[in-house]
Structure formats: structure tokens, C-alpha cells
Amino acid sequence: MSPVMSIRDLTVSFGGLNALSDLNFHVDEGEIVSVIGPNGAGKTTFFNLITGLVEPNSGDILFEGESILGLDPYQVTEIGIARTFQNVRLFPNMTVLENVMVAQHCRTHQHAFGALLQTKAFRKEEREIRERAEEVLSFFGTRLIGYRLDQPAFVLSYANRRRLEIARAMATQPRLLLLDEPVAGMNPKESVELTNLIGRLRSEWGFTIVMIEHDMGVVRDVSDRVVVLDHGVTIAQGSYEEVSNDPQVIEAYLGRPAQDAS
């Protein structure tokens, strides 16, 4: 099976700091890959590189066989990569529904004239955008629909904001979904619920998923493969069991035992 996305020898540095060096990475169709690593390992930079927010110094990113380097962030979204943000970044003064509707921008085409003349095509597309938004939101049960549809995003509870961010990313109709710490800050019950949802994102919606996560329970439950980053270098990859027993990984997270250090 050909990889959906593959990354070759990716290096980026900020000033003298190598945020990522010679990173090689690939994700296959329908896979769920978790990227873990201590704070400052370069995980979010990795996402920013893929989505075009940061330019690499060298290396290449291929999405479905074609290089996506140099594309603007909106073009990256257009070719089918969507992301969420580590610190939830919704459009706070727009309603829940609008947040999801606006994410379908690159999949729709009506211009100002359609809106001014209220053409048939415009009204049809508006209806479709709305229906699709409601469909995406109902993936989260009753939490984001009903009266919530017309509430501004800033009144939502923290967990619901995280859910809405995922819904917004889903609405861009991606092939590859990048989730940046989807369960951060959630309570154990909510984490379990979201873990199940991530599984269903693949099985029902057919997304390929790359996820940054600190919660090892979630990582263990959903990922096919785990990639461990430390100081911008891949130090291990494989199944959760393999990685979690890797001495290098344990060292990166817990430090070296005192007697070895001497």
C-alpha cells in the first residue's frame, strides 16, 4: 500500500535550534499514527510544517505522491489535510454552526453575486453546507446540536470546544486528519469517549489520522503505530508495546537511572 503522506529528511531550525533534524516519516491509507515525545520534542512544529505554517530548511513532504512544500496553508487544506490546534482556536464570536460551515469554504464555490441575486445555485449550496455541517456535528451525539447550533462558540464548555474543533476539521473534508492533543485537559470519562470517536473517525469517515498525544492510555487504545520524537529526532517507532519498552524512550521520558549516569 502506498503511503498517503511521506516525509523525507525533513530539517528545520529556528536560529541555532534544530527543531527537527532529518525526520523521515510516513503514514499509510487508513492508519492511525501517534506522535509522542517530551515537551519541546518538535511535535507541533511537525504539524506546522505539514500544514504550511512553517517552511522547512531542507527535505520534502509528499502528499499522495506530490510535494506540498511551498503551498499556502489554505492550499494544504484544499488538497485534503486538516488539523486541530493544541490550544483550542475556534472562531469564538461565530456560532457553533457557522464555525463548521465556514470550514467548508474550500469545498464550495459560490461568489458574492450568487449571494446578492439569491440564485438557485447559491441557495442549493447554502442548504448543502448547512446539512453537511449538521451531519458533522451530530457525530458528537447531542452535544453540539439542537439549541447549541446557534450559540456562539465562546459559551461552550472546554470539552465541547475541543469537539467542535474536530468537527470543524472534519468539515473541510480531508483525507488526512492531524489532531494536536485531542484529549488534553479532558477528564478520564471524556477521554475514553473521545478515544472511541477517534476510532470511528477512521472506520466511519475513512480518515487517515496522525495524532499528537500525551495521554498514553489513548495512544495505546487507538494507534496502529507510534512514533517517538525527542529533540527533533525520531528515537523509536513501532507498535505501542515495542515503543513503550524501548530503553531510549524510557530514558527520554524518565531520564537515566542515577547509577548509569556516573
Partner 1 sequence: MNELAPPRQILDQDWRRVLQFGGLCALALVFIALIGMPVQLDTRILIRRHLSLGYLSLIWIPIIMGYLVSKELVLEGIISAKKGPRDLLTGALTGMIGGAGLSLLAVLINNYNLRDPLLNWSPQTLEQLNFGNGIGFGIGIWLLIGAALGIFGSALHVLPALTAKAVGTALLAVILVSILETAITDLLQGFRLTFVTDSLYAKRGGLSVVSTIVLIVFVMLVTVLAAGQGEALREKYDALDEPKRKSTNLTLSFTGVIILLLLPLFLGKIMNELLANVGLFVLLALGLNIVVGLAGILDLGYVAFFAVGGYTTAVLTSPNSPWISPELHFGIVILIVIVAAAIVGLAVGAPVIRMRGDYLAIVTLGFGEIIRLLFLSDWLAPYFGGAQGITNIPPVDLGFAEVKGSDPRSVFYLVIFFCAVAIYVSWRLQGSRLGRAWMAIREDEKVAEAMGINTVNAKLMAFVVGAILASFSGAVFAAKVGSIFPSSFLILVSIIILVVVIVGGMGNITGVIVGAVVLIGVLGGPKQPGLLQELGTFKLLIYGALLIFMMLKRPEGLVPNARRSHELHQEEFLQDAWLKGIVDDDDEEEVTA
Interacting residues toward partner 1 by CB under 8 A: 51, 53, 72-74, 77-78, 82-83, 85, 89-95, 98, 101-103, 105-108, 110-112, 114-116, 118, 122, 125-126, 129, 138-143, 147, 150-152, 155, 157, 159-160, 168-169, 172, 187, 189-190, 193
CB of residue 244 to partner 1, shortest distance in Å? 29
List, in sequence order, every residue forming a beta bridge with 246; answer none if it has no partner: none
| DSSP-derived 3-state class of residue 172 | coil
- Give the residue with the Cβ less far from partner 1, 6 or 95: 95
- Give the residue with the Cβ less far from partner 1, 12 or 243: 12
- Given a contact cutoff of 8 angstroms between Cβ atoms, the answer to whether 73 and 53 are in contact is yes
Contacts of 94 (CB under 8 A, 6+ apart): 102, 152, 153
| DSSP-derived 3-state class of residue 114 | helix
CB of residue 71 to partner 1, shortest distance in Å? 11
The residue length of the chain stands at: 262
Q: Which of 80, 71, 44 is nearest to 171 (CA)?
A: 80
- Given a contact cutoff of 8 angstroms between Cβ atoms, the answer to whether 23 and 11 are in contact is yes
CB of residue 141 to partner 1, shortest distance in Å? 4
CB of residue 98 to partner 1, shortest distance in Å? 6
- Give the residue with the Cβ less far from partner 1, 154 or 256: 154
- Give the residue with the Cβ less far from partner 1, 205 or 253: 205
Whole-angstrom distance, CA of residue 164 vs CA of residue 41: 27
CB of residue 166 to partner 1, shortest distance in Å? 13
- Give the residue with the Cβ less far from partner 1, 135 or 224: 135
- Give the residue with the Cβ less far from partner 1, 111 or 120: 111
- Give the Cα-Cα-Cα angle 185, 188, 194 (nearest 5 degrees): 80
- Give the residue with the Cβ less far from partner 1, 178 or 243: 178
Whole-angstrom distance, CA of residue 220 vs CA of residue 198: 13
CB of residue 122 to partner 1, shortest distance in Å? 7
**Torsion angle defined by CA atoms of residues 110, 125, 52 and 205, in that order, rounded to the nearest 10 degrees:** -170
Whole-angstrom distance, CA of residue 70 vs CA of residue 50: 10
CB of residue 91 to partner 1, shortest distance in Å? 4
